[in-house]
């Protein structure tokens, strides 16, 4: 019986971080033009040493200006979605919950469509509109889910599902009225697409990620108890009302962050937490950092495949995660039933 | 528990292995790109000329760009029409006209072109158009230090002006002027022939199930007008869905089909005669159909051929003398009264 | 580990928000003074009322709350646990109103065993029982040596020692109940509350549980309150009974004082027969056939 200790936590995270680093390295290597390991290593070395004149500008352009920002985005999105998914699974006490079940992504999609219609000329309108839409949906579902100052899981779930379908209907209505050219871009975004560099500096995105995950992590021990029922958790001294609110807000912010950057990439928030649980157990003190790293690994892998499988054509990342995610999900389901 | 863990790690390892072998093969299958490892060709210290593109953006290009990448089929066609086809370094997957375009390296689709591929081709200029490309793509290319020239043609007249401007920007001012003047001349001649004749009321059938047509503000609608036709659709949406009752109420004189409609137009027409609603249309009963090539909706010089072709089909009496067969490019469907 | 499960340090310290743990022989005392509760939907007539009731619970005592479904047993239990504020009167643990205690302190003093324990994800018994230490640590709450010792003792007291490494969802009903009891004991409470703990158990498990409760009450000094409708088990194992009927407290006292035939018949609405055995414990029997 090996209980969770700080040492085990740090070791697991270090191992996962190592896998992530490896994944990033290979992702930098592969693309439309494959770069040999040696060239890549020397490129990174020279850049780090500040000797960028030693490096061909072609390599630099491709690896540092095109691939690296994209990989960075993939990591941030992957970590956000996975932690959000794991959090919603605890909050709603439902293993089928994913980041989109409470309508946050529909709100983001609506926000981005509206900003396309009204503010098409402003650069970066789409991501900000998406985030605003996500925040609005979060607030709406919060008020729907409130019962006397506390968030009720069932009311939350119902409110979220209703909000999601209502917003989807609105989106469909709008999509038939806006003209064709915006529509094409929109379809790609709705599927999940990392090829568009974000207008927001990655540093800010990373900050939001850290704040969101950090806030949720403060309740990690409480979440373990919450899984066993709210009454039980309360009798064990958990401030259930506060914990639910923090987790709800944190997970919604993380989802909004991910969706506004890359559109709705599916399956990551649902599957990665379960895979991590399979490997490392359900203790949220370990689950949260491990899913963050696991999600980053998953999306970087999916994105690398998306842009190399049928190069030069690029598949949307969401298609990749669905193609891999659905069979994995079926496998997990059957395992559970067995 | 140990065996489960091992199995999972093995599965992950296998997935990673297979994931990484696939891209390597894909990269080798990708079309030949300039052999590497390349050092960026020292750009000849040519003077850069400033010009304004269709969107009013300031663009700096060499006086006669030698390496052009086109991000839309219409742009590819125009570049070939300007006799600069051999300077095309890259085209989209959908650029199919003229046939020589098929030999050029591909860079992906217009919505989501492969940035790495474009960068590797070292273009002097990338051509984009508002109708088919996303602003995010343009912004991303500019951030990578690549000049982008954007066109925006919403009417037939725009096409002429745009062609003229593009010819000048690409260092083919003379040819561009000749093309534009030729198009103006043909339009004037057509207008003369059609003078005094009322425009034929037509219904352009984009799709039959559901019925989709074109609104009055599209490029296609303008082209129709120049051919002496007027779309009966009053809805201001660009590609509205119309009910069969509305079509019956409008009672168009002609039905116009695009030659690239999936079914052979003859089959479509025959099947429509058997369908309720459609069979009551005067145009169906009288077999007043016109079939045009997809060039009618493409803002490129070939547009004029399509306009003339359509005019001939719906205003046959305006062209009494059997014309010397105009040099017809392959791909134009023959239509007329059947 | 002395009775009550406290170390020497804990015994002599007093927390500013709750009662200090005194050394025995002063028994911890729960007093219920004229506490009542009422639940009514907005604007409507009151749906349920628990009328003012008074009694107390001493340490080493097993108190059983008896009554039919809907008589207010669970509500009374929740008043005792501090999760419901009484409409009138008060419920105190060692002089402090339980409803006013902060969550953390309350969890260190009062432990509750509910009817059902939902489990979402697989968890081992050890980790499950370790949850009982939650009120004593902060932050990420990694388990300490002391936590380990407390959990081991709690498992032993609950008779769940052999279950330590098993998965919770693979336990039988009785085993699971013992694990839940162990978790409650790991909280090192003064007051242990159980809401119909025998509901899903077979006879052997029921008897085993009550016997165990009796023993740990005697040995470790807990004050235990059990809500049940098992008349004979209550009579056998409880020191005193609180008999509820439709929100009213009809009687508080030893089983032999409370188990009057007419009274029980009135409360439970069925014909029964109360025997007083030689040992002094009353026994309730039901006739199987239809009588007048």
B120 lies in the same domain as B145: yes
Least confident of A197-211, A269-283, B43-57, B135-149: B43-57
Does some domain include residue B264? yes
Per-domain boundaries in chain C: 8-285
**Res A128 pLDDT > 80:** yes
What does the alpha-carbon distance between residue A177 and residue B10 come to, in Å, rounded to a whole number? 50
Q: Is residue B213 part of a domain?
A: yes
Helix (H, G, I), strand (E, B), or coil: what is residue B60? strand
Average pLDDT score over residue span B174-195: 92
Mutate to test the interface with A, among B112, B113, B142, B145 (most CBs of A within 10 A): B112
Percentage of chain B modeled with pLDDT above 90: 28
Higher pLDDT, A77 or B292: A77
Residue B42 within a domain = no
Is there a domain that residue B32 lies in?
A: no
pLDDT value at position A190? 75
Contact state of C104 with A232 under an 8 Å Cβ cutoff: no
Q: Which of A180, A304, A313 sits opposite B108 (nearest CB)?
A: A313
Specify whether B173 is located in the same domain as B255: no
Mean pLDDT score across all residues of chain B: 80
**Taking CB atoms and an 8 Å cutoff, what residues of chain A touch B116?**
31-33, 62, 66-67, 307, 312
Residue B146 belongs to some domain of the structure: yes
**A33 and B36: CB-CB below 8 Å?**
yes
Question: In terms of Cα–Cα distance, which of C220, B264, C121 is closest to A97?
Answer: C121
* pLDDT, average across residues A77-105: 93
Task: Kindly identify which residue of chain A lies nearest to residue B22, measuring between CA atoms.
Answer: A309
Asked if the model's pLDDT at residue B3 lies above 50, the reply is no
Cα of B209 vs its chain's centroid, Å: 23
Closest chain A residue to C110 measured between Cα atoms? A235
Write b or e for each residue in B118-130: b if 16 or more Cβ atoms lie within 10 A of its Cβ, otherwise e: bbbbbbbbbbbbb
Q: Is residue B283 located within the same domain as residue B229?
A: yes
Q: Are C134 and A237 inside 8 Å of each other by CB?
A: yes
B177 with B214, same domain: the answer is no
What is the share, in percent, of chain A residues with pLDDT greater than 70? 94
Q: How far is C116 from chain A (nearest CA, A)?
A: 10
Check CB contact of A237 with chain C, cutoff 8 Å. yes
Q: How confident is the model at residue C45 (pLDDT cuts 50, 70, 90)?
A: low
Query: CB distance C142–A6 less than 8 Å?
Result: yes
For residue range B14-66, list pLDDT tens digits in order. Answer: 555 544 443 333 333 333 333 333 334 444 456 788 888 888 889 999 888 99
List the structure tokens of B35: 């052999």
How close A199 comes to chain B (CA, Å)? 9
Looking at the fold, whether B288 and B207 belong to one and the same domain comes out as yes
Do residues B158 and B203 both lie within one domain?
no
DSSP lists the bridge partners of residue B212 as B207, B241
Assess whether chains A and B touch, using the rule of 3 or more C-beta pairs within 8 angstroms.
yes
Q: Closest approach of chain B CAs to the CA of A244, in angstroms?
A: 32
- Report the alpha-carbon angle B87-B92-B94, nearest 5: 125
Per-residue pLDDT, averaged over A78-93, amounts to: 95
Give the pLDDT of residue B31: 37
Residue A55's pLDDT is 65
DSSP-derived secondary structure for C91-117: EEETTEEGGGS-HHHHHHHEEEE-S--
* Mean pLDDT, rounded, for A93-115: 89
Question: Confidence band (pLDDT; 50, 70, 90) for C3?
Answer: very low
Contact across the interface for B114 and A313, Cβ inside 8 Å? yes
Structurally, what CATH architecture does the domain formed by C8-285 represent?
3-Layer(aba) Sandwich (3.40)
pLDDT of B149 reads 95
Amino acid B46: pLDDT: 62
Q: Which residue has the tokens 């839940």?
A: C180
Calpha distance A299→A264 (Å, rounded)? 12
**Rounded mean pLDDT of chain C?**
84
Distance, CA of B24 to CA of C64 (rounded, Å): 73
B318-322, C216-220, C225-229: the lowest-pLDDT one: B318-322
* A252-273 pLDDT per residue, tens: 999 999 998 888 898 999 999 9
Mean pLDDT within C61-76? 89
* Most A-contacting residue of B3, B9, B17, B20 (CB-CB within 10 A), to test interface: B20
Closest residue of chain A to C144, computed from CA coordinates: A5
Q: What is the pLDDT of residues C20-33, one digit of tens each?
A: 544 444 455 787 87
Q: What's the half-sphere exposure (Cβ side, CA atoms, 13 Å) at A232?
A: 23
Q: Do A235 and C124 touch (CB under 8 A)?
A: no
Q: Which chains touch A (3 or more CB pairs under 8 A)?
A: B, C
- Left if phi > 0, otherwise alpha if psi is -120 to 50, otherwise beta: which for C30? beta
Sign of CA dihedral B203, B207, B210, B215: negative
Query: Mean pLDDT, to the nearest integer, of B145-168?
Result: 92
For residue A335, name the pLDDT band (cuts at 50, 70, 90): confident
Q: Which of B31, B107, B112 sits opposite A195 (nearest CB)?
A: B112
pLDDT tens by residue, C230-286: 889 999 999 999 999 988 888 899 998 888 888 888 888 888 888 888 888 888 888
pLDDT of residue C22: 40
pLDDT for B14 = 54
Q: Are 3 or more Cβ–Cβ pairs between A and C shorter than 8 Å?
A: yes
Interface of A with B (CB under 8 A): 26, 30-35, 39, 56-59, 61-62, 65-67, 123, 176-177, 179-181, 184-185, 188, 193, 195-197, 199, 278-279, 301, 304-305, 307-314, 316
Pairs of CB atoms within 8 A across A/C: 77
B73 is a domain residue? yes
Q: Which residues of C touch A93 (CB under 8 A)?
A: 118, 120
- When mean pLDDT is compared over A78-82, A144-148, B24-28, B288-292, the highest value belongs to A78-82
Q: Does A282 touch chain C (CB under 8 A)?
A: yes
Q: Which residue has the higher pLDDT, B288 or C186?
A: C186
The total number of structural domains that make up chain B: 2
Tokens of B293: 């090539």
> What is the per-residue pLDDT for C185?
96
pLDDT given for residue C1 in this prediction: 37
Both B236 and B131 in one domain: the answer is: no
Query: Could you give all domains of chain A from N- to C-terminal order, each with its CATH number?
Result: 6-337 (1.10.3470.10)
Prediction pTM value: 0.81
Same domain, B239 and B155: no
Residue-wise pLDDT for A131-166, tens only, equals 999 999 999 999 888 887 788 888 888 999 999 999
Size of interface A-B (CB pairs under 8 A): 132
- Asked whether B222 and B204 are in contact (CB, 8 A), the reply is no
Q: Are B263 and B272 in contact (CB under 8 A)?
A: no
Chains C and B: 3 or more CB pairs within 8 Å of each other:
no
How far is residue A77's CA from residue A206's CA, in Å, rounded to a whole number?
A: 10
**Residue of A308 and B177 predicted with greater confidence:** B177
- Lowest average pLDDT, out of A197-201, B183-187, C115-119, C226-230, goes to A197-201
Q: Which residues of chain B have a CB within 8 Å of the CB of A176?
A: 237, 241
Residue of chain A whose Cα is closest to the Cα of B35: A33
A-contacting residues in B 149-208 (Cβ below 8 Å): none
CB contact under 8 A, A282 and C122: yes
Kindly determine whether residue A66 and residue B8, on different chains, have CB atoms separated by under 8 Å: no
A 10 A CB-CB count for B337 gives 12
Mean pLDDT across the stretch B68-90?
A: 93
CATH no. for residue B70? 3.40.50.1980
- Within 8 A of C143 by CB-CB distance, chain A residues are 3-4
Predicted confidence (pLDDT) at residue A78 exceeds the cutoff of 70 = yes
Residue among A3, A37, A1 at smallest CA distance from A285: A3
**If pLDDT is split at 50, 70 and 90, which confidence band does C44 have?**
low
Q: Which domain holds residue B304?
A: 198-318
pLDDT band, residue B272 (cuts 50/70/90): confident
């Amino acid at each position: 019986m090996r209980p969770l200790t700080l040492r085990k936590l740090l070791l697991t995270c270090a191992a996962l971080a190592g896998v992530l680093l490896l994944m990033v390295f290979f992702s930098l290597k592969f693309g439309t033009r494959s770069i040999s390991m040696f060239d890549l290593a020397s490129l990174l070395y020279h850049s780090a040493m500040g000797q960028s004149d030693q490096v061909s500008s072609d390599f630099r352009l491709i690896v540092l200006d095109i691939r690296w920002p994209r990989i960075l985005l993939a990591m941030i999105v992957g970590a956000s979605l996975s932690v959000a998914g794991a959090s919603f699974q605890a909050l709603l006490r439902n293993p089928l919950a994913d980041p989109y079940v409470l309508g946050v992504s529909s709100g983001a999609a609506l926000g981005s469509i509206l900003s396309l219609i009204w503010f098409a000329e402003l650069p970066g309108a789409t991501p900000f509109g998406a985030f605003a839409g996500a925040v609005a949906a979060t607030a709406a579902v919060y008020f729907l889910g409130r019962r006397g100052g506390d968030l009720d899981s069932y009311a939350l779930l119902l409110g979220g599902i209703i909000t999601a379908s209502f917003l989807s209907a609105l989106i469909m209505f709008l999509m038939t009225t806006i003209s064709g050219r915006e529509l094409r871009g929109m379809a790609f975004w709705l599927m999940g697409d990392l090829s568009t560099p974000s207008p927001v500096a990655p540093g800010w995105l990373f900050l939001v990620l850290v704040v969101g995950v950090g806030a949720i992590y403060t309740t990690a021990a409480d979440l373990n108890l919450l899984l066993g029922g709210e009454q039980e958790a309360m009798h064990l001294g958990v401030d259930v009302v506060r914990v639910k609110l923090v987790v709800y807000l944190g997970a919604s912010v993380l989802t909004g962050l991910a969706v506004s950057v890359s559109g709705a990439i599916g399956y990551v928030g649902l599957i990665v937490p379960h895979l991590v649980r399979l490997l490392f157990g359900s203790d949220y003190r370990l689950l949260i950092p491990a899913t963050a790293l696991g999600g980053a690994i998953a999306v970087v892998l999916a994105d690398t495949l998306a842009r190399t499988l049928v190069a030069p054509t690029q598949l949307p990342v969401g298609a990749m995660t669905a193609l891999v995610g659905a069979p994995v999900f079926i496998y997990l389901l059957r395992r559970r039933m067995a | 528990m140990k065996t489960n863990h091992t199995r999972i790690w093995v599965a992950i390892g296998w997935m990673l292995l297979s994931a990484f072998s696939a891209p390597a093969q894909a990269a080798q299958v990708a079309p030949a790109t300039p052999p590497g490892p390349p050092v960026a060709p020292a750009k000849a210290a040519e003077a850069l000329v400033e010009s304004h593109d269709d969107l009013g953006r300031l663009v700096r290009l060499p006086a006669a760009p030698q390496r052009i990448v086109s991000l839309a089929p219409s742009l590819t066609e125009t570049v070939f029409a300007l006799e600069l086809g051999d300077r095309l370094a890259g085209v989209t997957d959908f650029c199919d006209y003229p046939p020589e375009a098929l030999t050029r390296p591909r860079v992906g689709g217009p919505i989501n072109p492969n940035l790495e591929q474009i960068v590797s081709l070292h273009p002097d200029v990338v051509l984009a158009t508002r109708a088919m490309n996303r602003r995010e793509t343009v912004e991303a290319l500019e951030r990578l230090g690549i000049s982008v020239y954007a066109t925006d043609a919403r009417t037939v007249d725009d096409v002429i002006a745009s062609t003229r401007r593009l010819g000048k920007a690409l260092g083919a001012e003379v040819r561009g002027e000749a093309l534009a003047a030729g198009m103006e001349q043909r339009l004037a001649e057509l207008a003369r022939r059609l003078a005094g004749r009322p425009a034929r009321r037509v219904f352009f059938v984009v799709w039959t199930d559901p019925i989709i047509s074109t609104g009055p503000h599209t490029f296609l609608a303008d082209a129709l007008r120049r051919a002496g036709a007027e779309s009966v659709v009053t809805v201001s949406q660009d590609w509205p869905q119309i009910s069969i009752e509305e079509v019956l109420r409008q009672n168009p004189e002609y039905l116009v089909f695009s030659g690239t409609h999936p079914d052979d137009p003859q089959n479509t027409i025959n099947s429509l005669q058997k369908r309720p609603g459609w069979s009551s249309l005067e145009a169906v009963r009288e077999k007043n159909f016109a079939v045009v090539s997809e060039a009618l909706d493409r803002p490129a010089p070939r547009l004029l051929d399509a306009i003339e072709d359509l005019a001939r089909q719906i205003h046959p009496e305006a062209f009494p003398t059997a014309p010397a067969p105009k040099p017809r490019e392959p791909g134009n469907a023959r239509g007329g009264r059947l | 580990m002395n009775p009550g499960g406290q170390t020497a340090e804990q015994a002599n310290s007093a927390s500013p928000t709750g009662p200090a743990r005194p050394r025995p022989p002063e028994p911890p005392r729960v007093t219920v003074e004229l506490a009542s509760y009422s639940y009514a939907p907005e604007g409507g007539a009151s749906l349920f009322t628990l009328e003012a009731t008074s009694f107390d619970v001493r340490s080493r005592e097993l108190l059983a709350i008896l009554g039919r479904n809907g008589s207010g047993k669970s509500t009374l239990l929740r008043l005792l646990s501090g999760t419901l504020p009484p409409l009138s009167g008060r419920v105190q643990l060692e002089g402090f109103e339980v409803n006013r205690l902060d969550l953390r302190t309350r969890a260190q003093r009062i432990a509750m065993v509910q009817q059902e324990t939902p489990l979402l994800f697989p968890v081992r018994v050890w980790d499950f029982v370790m949850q009982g230490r939650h009120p004593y640590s902060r932050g990420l709450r990694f388990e300490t040596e002391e936590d380990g010792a407390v959990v081991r003792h709690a498992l032993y007291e609950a008779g769940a020692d052999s279950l330590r490494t098993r998965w919770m969802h693979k336990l039988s009903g009785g085993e699971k109940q013992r694990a839940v009891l162990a978790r409650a004991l790991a909280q090192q409470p003064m007051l242990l509350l159980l809401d119909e703990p025998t509901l899903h158990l077979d006879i052997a498990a029921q008897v085993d549980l009550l016997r165990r409760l009796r023993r740990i009450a005697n040995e470790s000094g807990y004050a235990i309150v059990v809500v049940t409708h098992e008349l004979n088990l209550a009579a056998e194992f409880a020191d005193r009974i609180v008999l509820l009927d439709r929100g009213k407290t009809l009687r508080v006292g030893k089983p032999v004082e409370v188990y009057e035939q007419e009274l029980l018949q009135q409360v439970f609405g069925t014909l029964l027969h109360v025997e007083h055995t030689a040992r002094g414990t009353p026994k309730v029997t039901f006739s199987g056939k239809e009588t007048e």
